[in-house]
Amino acid sequence: MTTIGASGLSVATPRVVVLPAVRVSAPVRLNYPWKLGSMNRMVVVKATSEGGISDKVEKSIQEAKETCADDPVSGECVAAWDEVEELSAAASHARDKKKAGGSDPLEEYCNDNPETDECRTYDN
Amino acid sequence: MAVSTIYSTQALNSTHFLTSSSSSKQVFLYRRQPQTNRRFNTLITCSQETIVIGLAADSGCGKSTFMRRLTSVFGGAAKPPKGGNPDSNTLISDTTTVICLDDYHSLDRYGRKEQKVTALDPRANDFDLMYEQVKALKSGVAVEKPIYNHVTGLLDPPELIQPPKILVIEGLHPMFDERVRDLLDFSIYLDISNEVKFAWKIQRDMAERGHSLESIKASIEARKPDFDAFIDPQKQYADAVIEVLPTQLIPDDNEGKVLRVRLIMKEGVKYFSPVYLFDEGSTISWIPCGRKLTCSYPGIKFNYEPDSYFDHEVSVLEMDGQFDRLDELIYVESHLSNLSTKFYGEVTQQMLKHADFPGSNNGTGLFQTIVGLKIRDLYEQLIANKATARAEAAKA
């Protein structure tokens, strides 16, 4: 991203292209080391952004078209289109969720906890 | 069915894992909570009666409109479990828990690609686990259910599911396995015809980059053989089938906005009395629009008749057309019988409550609401029956 040109030494650091919603996180460290075995995958359990799913859908459609170009009735072709269907459904759910929710985080919090101080309403 | 049983620790442990058939990539977190285990052990009393409803539907899982209407009839909005995996497919309300059967995939997306099978194929699903966990929940035992993450396509660590009063299992194969079928107290099959499916998928997917008419068509065609072989035959086992067809009121309509919906209700199912129009068991054709009620194009047409469906006696109630106004809805409701409503206008009220849901102006919303009321009726009858049986057993 920056070049240190002052001393004639130019160190070009790799340009990191950060997609708007990709979150890079460090591997999870556990306080309970006996659970380490089950955390091998280090998957960060976070809801993926919408942009991510749309890209996946597009990619899967391309893949399916390629796979089916060779043999339209093979198991691979069918499985590829099934994947497209699954991802399209996930994308449409994400869109609906974003349309429905995506509102005030305070409103969401108050729906779940109406008795807290921030959320109490006095009608009289 | 045993009304009160005390489970040994051994049986309780058997619901906490299930790695039997999976590859090493899928690891389940073991929850070590010995105290709570023991509490469940002693808390298994006879007061919890869980009924299990099965819903077979192609796409959508727990977030579909049908589920939201169903849970709304029982009261309370169903929400994903708080503080858990945000990509969880489960919905929980006060009385109802909706489980997505995709969580019982034995192969994740990559496994399926490797094995060249679709999600519709029974080889991609673990029916043993499904049966064990549904049986456990039905008997009042909490389970650690795996989560299938639709976004990543992987199987996530399991979540704890408490036994609810009403358990709904929704997915592709609720009635595929015979043992699971026997556990169901009521089953519903949502049968969407090919034309309507195509129209709906176009509406859903055209906004997506990369999709075109051809790709949508190809996707439906590619899945069709597996769908016809594995999913469609479940129709014959369902107690209620909701068939969605293109309308007959508009010639050559291919937009799929006006629908003809048929509610096929099996006769002779315990605690389930089919809805009828005017005279039970007769054949009625009814167009409510006329002097008392004015409707706009294309209007509304009802049909009711007894029929035979896969060698079963059924009653079919059919609605073609759309509702435009509130009074059309209440007019229709006042002429239907055996709706299992608790007060006059309950169906209309439920439909209005969710006026923004798709299908609120046609037969899909109407019949889904009616099925919801029928399930509530079934639940109450079952509870009352168990209570009297227990009272008699206590007296004897």
Q: CB-based contacts of A65: which residues, under 8 Å, 6+ apart?
A: B215
Test mutation, A45, A55, A65, chain B, max B CBs within 10 A: A45
Task: Report pLDDT for A30.
Answer: 62
Interface predicted TM-score of the whole assembly (ipTM), two decimals: 0.77
Q: Are A82 and B120 an interchain contact pair (Cβ–Cβ within 8 Å)?
A: yes
Test mutation, B107, B150, B211, B214, chain A, max A CBs within 10 A: B150
Question: Distance (Å, rounded) from C-alpha B105 to C-alpha B92?
Answer: 21
Q: Do residues A69 and B215 make contact, with C-beta atoms less than 8 angstroms apart?
A: no
Q: Does B82 touch chain A (CB under 8 A)?
A: yes
> pLDDT band at residue B301, thresholds of 50, 70 and 90?
very high
Task: Report pLDDT for A8.
Answer: 45
Judged against a pLDDT cut of 60, whether residue A17 lies above it is answered with no
Task: Report pLDDT for B4.
Answer: 42
Q: Which residues in chain A (35-94) have CB-CB distances under 8 A to chain B?
A: 35, 37-38, 40-41, 43, 45-48, 52-54, 57-59, 61-62, 64-65, 68, 74-86, 88-94
With CA atoms as reference, report the closest residue to B232 among B163, B175, B296, B315: B175
Test mutation, B205, B213, B214, B220, chain A, max A CBs within 10 A: B205
Handedness of CA B16, B181, B273, B69 (dihedral sign): positive
Task: Report pLDDT for B77.
Answer: 76
> H/E element holding B136?
helix B127-138
Share of chain B above pLDDT 70, in %: 87
* Tens digit of each residue's pLDDT (9 = 90 or more) over A41-100: 555 544 545 567 888 888 888 888 888 888 777 788 889 999 988 888 888 888 877 776
> pLDDT band at residue A31, thresholds of 50, 70 and 90?
confident
Please state which of the ranges A21-30, B14-23, B203-212, B353-362 shows the lowest mean pLDDT: B14-23
Question: Which of A37, A45, A112 lies at the smallest CB-CB distance from B82?
Answer: A112
Greater pLDDT, A8 or B291: B291
Q: Do residues B136 and B167 make contact, with C-beta atoms less than 8 angstroms apart?
A: no
Share of chain A above pLDDT 70, in %: 55
Q: Are B211 and A86 an interchain contact pair (Cβ–Cβ within 8 Å)?
A: no
Greater pLDDT, A92 or B39: A92
Task: Report pLDDT for B71.
Answer: 85
Residue of chain B whose Cα is closest to the Cα of A71: B222
Judged against a pLDDT cut of 90, whether residue A39 lies above it is answered with no
Greater pLDDT, B128 or A52: B128
What mean pLDDT value characterizes chain B? 85
Is the peptide bond prior to B225 cis by the omega test (within 30 degrees of 0)?
A: no
Name, of A97-106, B68-77, B243-252, the range with top average pLDDT: B243-252
In chain A, which residues have their Cβ closer than 8 Å to the Cβ of B218? Answer: 64, 68, 81
Task: Report pLDDT for B63.
Answer: 54
Q: Does B152 touch chain A (CB under 8 A)?
A: yes
Question: Which of A48, A76, A83 lies at the smallest CB-CB distance from B109?
Answer: A83
Q: Are A95 and B207 an interchain contact pair (Cβ–Cβ within 8 Å)?
A: yes
* Tens digit of each residue's pLDDT (9 = 90 or more) over B161-214: 999 999 999 999 999 999 999 999 999 999 999 888 888 888 888 878 788 888
Please state which of the ranges A37-46, B123-132, B139-148 shows the lowest mean pLDDT: A37-46
Task: Report pLDDT for B205.
Answer: 85
What mean pLDDT value characterizes chain A? 69
DSSP of chain A, one letter per residue? -----TTS----PPP----TT----PPPP-S-GGGGGGGTT-----PPPHHHHHHHHHHHHHHHHHHHHH-TTSHHHHHHHHHHHHHHHHHHHHHHHHHHS-S-HHHHHHHH-TTSGGG-----
> pLDDT band at residue B268, thresholds of 50, 70 and 90?
very high
Q: Do residues B340 and B265 make contact, with C-beta atoms less than 8 angstroms apart?
A: no
> pLDDT band at residue A1, thresholds of 50, 70 and 90?
very low
Question: Which of B27, B115, B223 lies at the smallest CB-CB distance from A85?
Answer: B223
Q: Are B225 and A78 an interchain contact pair (Cβ–Cβ within 8 Å)?
A: yes
> pLDDT band at residue A107, thresholds of 50, 70 and 90?
confident
Question: Distance (Å, rounded) from C-alpha B295 to C-alpha B141?
Answer: 52
CA–CA–CA angle B112, B114, B117 (5° rounding): 40
Test mutation, A60, A73, A87, A93, chain B, max B CBs within 10 A: A93
Question: Distance (Å, rounded) from C-alpha B273 to C-alpha B384?
Answer: 16
Residue of chain A whose Cα is closest to the Cα of B112: A79
